[in-house]
Amino acid sequence: MATVEARGVSKSYQGRTVLASLDLDMGEAELICLLGPSGCGKTTLLRIIAGFITPDTGTVHVGGRDVTALPPAARKMGMVFQAYSLFPNMTALDNVRFGPRVAGQAKTEQVKRAGELLDLVGLAQHRDKYPHQMSGGQQQRVALARALAVRPDVLLLDEPLSALDAKVRLQLREEIRRIQRETKVTTVLVTHDQEEALSISDRVAVMNGGKLLQVATPSVIYRQPADAFVARFIGLAGILPGVAEGAAVRMSNGTILPADAAVAHQSGRSVEMFLRPEHVRLQRMNGHVPPGALAADVQEATFLGSLTRVRLRLPELPDHAGLWADMPSEHAADFAPGQRVTAHWHETSPHVIAVEAAQAS
Amino acid sequence: MSQAATTPLRRDGVVHKRPASQGVAGLILPYSVIGLFIALAALFMAAPTVMLAVQSVTDDHGFTLKYLEALGGDNIVVAFRNSIVLSIASAAIGVVAGGLIAYFVISPAMPITLRSAVTSFSAVAANFAGVPLAFAFVSTLGTLGMLTQGLRSLGVDIYGLGFSLFSMTGLTIVYAYFQIPLMVIIITPALLALRTEWRESSENLGATSGQYWRMIGLPVLLPSLISAFILLFGSAFSAYATAYALTSGNIALLTTEIANVLSGDVSSSPQTGAALAVGMIVVMVGVLVISAAFSRRASRWHK
Whether residue B218 lies within 8 A of chain A, CB to CB, comes out as no
Burial B5-33 (b: 16+ CB within 10 A, else e): eeeeeeeeeeeeeeeeeeeeeeeeeeeee
The pLDDT assigned to A112 comes to 94
B23 domain residue, yes or no:
no
Residue A188 shares a structural domain with residue A277? no
Q: Is the pLDDT of residue B266 over 80?
A: no
Residue B262: its pLDDT value, please?
83
| Mean pLDDT (whole number) for B200-217 | 94
User: What is the domain range of residue B195?
Assistant: 74-302
In a domain, B49, yes or no: no
> Is residue B37 a part of any domain in this protein?
no
Residues A48 and A137 in one domain: yes
Is residue B147 assigned to a domain?
yes
- Residue at A151 is within a domain: yes
Of B198, B206, B302, which has the smallest distance from its Cβ to A87's Cβ?
B198
CA–CA min distance A217, chain B (Å) = 29
- Provide the pLDDT for residue B109: 86
Q: Does B194 touch chain A (CB under 8 A)?
A: no
What b-and-e string marks burial along A296-311, b requiring 16 or more CB atoms within 10 Å of the CB?
bebbebeeeeeebbbb
Domain that holds residue A335: 236-360
* Same-domain status, A50 and A178: yes
Based on the domain organization, do A160 and A263 belong to the same domain?
no
Same domain, A245 and A355: yes
Binding-face residues of B in 243-302 toward A, CB within 8 A: 301-302
Let me know if residue A121 belongs to a domain: yes
Choosing from A226, A245, A271, the residue where a domain stops is A226
Quote the minimal CA–CA distance from A74 to chain B in Å.
Answer: 7
pLDDT at B1 exceeding the cut of 50:
no
Predicted TM-score of the model (pTM): 0.80
How many CA within 13 A on the CB side of residue A146? Answer: 33
Contact flag A73-B205 (C-beta cutoff 8 Å)? yes
The predicted structure's pLDDT at residue B261: 83
The better pLDDT of the pair A185, B60 is held by A185
- Is A44 in the same domain as A111? yes
Average of per-residue pLDDT across B222-240: 92
In a domain, B54, yes or no: no
Of A89, A98, A135, the CB nearest to B220: A89
Residue B225 has pLDDT above 90, yes or no: yes
Check whether B197 has a pLDDT greater than 80: yes
Number of domains in chain A: 2
What is the predicted pLDDT for the residue at B15?
47
CATH number at residue A12: 3.40.50.300
Of the candidates A359, A8, A55, A18, the one whose C-alpha atom is nearest the C-alpha of residue A210 is A18
| Same domain as A210, residue A120 | yes
Instruction: For B123-155, write each residue's pLDDT tens digit.
Output: 999 888 888 899 999 999 998 999 999 999 999
pLDDT tens digits along B154-165: 999 999 898 999
B209 close contact with A: CB closer than 8 A: no
* A86/A57 same-domain check: yes
CB A31 within 8 A of CB A197: no
Tell me which chain B residue has its CA closest to the CA of residue A52. B200
Domain boundary among A176, A202, A226: A226
Best CA proximity match to A228, nearest among A128, A361, A129 = A361
Of A71, A78, A85, the CB nearest to B197: A85
For residue A196, being part of any structural domain is answered with yes
pLDDT at residue A359, rounded to an integer: 52
User: Taking a C-beta distance cutoff of 8 angstroms, is the pair B175, B166 a contact?
Assistant: no
Q: State how far residue B186 is from chain A, nearest Cα, in angstroms.
A: 21
Q: Which of A175, A202, A226 is the last residue of a domain?
A: A226
The answer to whether A196 touches A157, Cβ cutoff 8 Å, is no
Q: Is B12 on the interface with A (CB under 8 A)?
A: no
Q: What residues of A are in the B interface, CB distance below 8 Å?
A: 50, 52, 71-73, 77-79, 81-91, 98-99, 102-103, 130, 132, 135-136, 143, 146-147, 149-150
Rounded CA separation A84/A291 (Å): 58
- Mapping DSSP onto H, E and C, the string for chain B reads CCHHHHCEEEECCEEEECCCCCCHHHHHHHHHHHHHHHHHHHHHHHHHHHHHHHHHCEECCEECCHHHHHHHCHHHHHHHHHHHHHHHHHHHHHHHHHHHHHHHHCCCCCCHHHHHHHHHHHHHHCCCCCHHHHHHHHHHHCCCCHHHHHHHHCCCCCCCCCCCCCCHHHHHHHHHHHHHHHHHHHHHHHHHCCCHHHHHHHHHCCCCHHHHHHHHHHHHHHHHHHHHHHHHHHHHHCCCHHHHHHHCCCCCCHHHHHHHHHHCCCCCCHHHHHHHHHHHHHHHHHHHHHHHHHHHHHCHHHC
CA separation for the pair A30, A187 (Å, rounded): 6
- Residues A275 and A191 reside in one and the same domain: no
Sequence-distant (≥ 6) Cβ neighbours of residue A298 within 8 angstroms: A310, A311, A312, A335, A336, A337, A338, A339, A341
Residues A209 and A319 grouped into a single domain: no
Structure confidence at residue B13 (pLDDT): 44
Q: What is the pLDDT of residues B178-192, one digit of tens each?
A: 999 999 999 999 999
Check which CATH number belongs to the domain holding B243 and give it.
1.10.3720.10
Query: Is residue A231 situated within a structural domain?
Result: no
Nearest CB to A136: which of B13, B215, B220? B13
Chain A touched by B213 (CB under 8 Å): no
So what's the pLDDT on residue B11?
43
A72 and A218 both lie in a single domain? yes
**Amino acid of residue A293:** A
Q: Report CB contact under 8 Å: B211, A77.
A: no
Look at residue B231 and tell me if it is in a domain.
yes
The residue among A57, A149, A133, A53 whose CA lies nearest residue A100 is A149
pLDDT for the residue numbered A104: 92
Q: Domain check: are A317 and A354 in the same one? A: yes
Task: Establish, for the pair of chains A and B, how many residue pairs have beta carbons separated by less than 8 Å.
Answer: 76
What was the pLDDT predicted at B12? 45
Arithmetic mean of pLDDT, B31-54 = 90
Q: How far is B116 from chain A (nearest CA, A)?
A: 23
- A79, A103, A132 member nearest B201 (Cβ): A79
Query: Is the residue at B2 inside a domain?
Result: no
Low-confidence ranges of chain A (pLDDT < 50): 358, 360-361
- Is B220 within 8 Å of A77 when comparing Cβ atoms? no
- The number of distinct structural domains making up chain B is 1
| Domain CATH number, residue A256 | 2.40.50.100
Mean pLDDT of chain B: 87
**B239 within domain boundaries:** yes
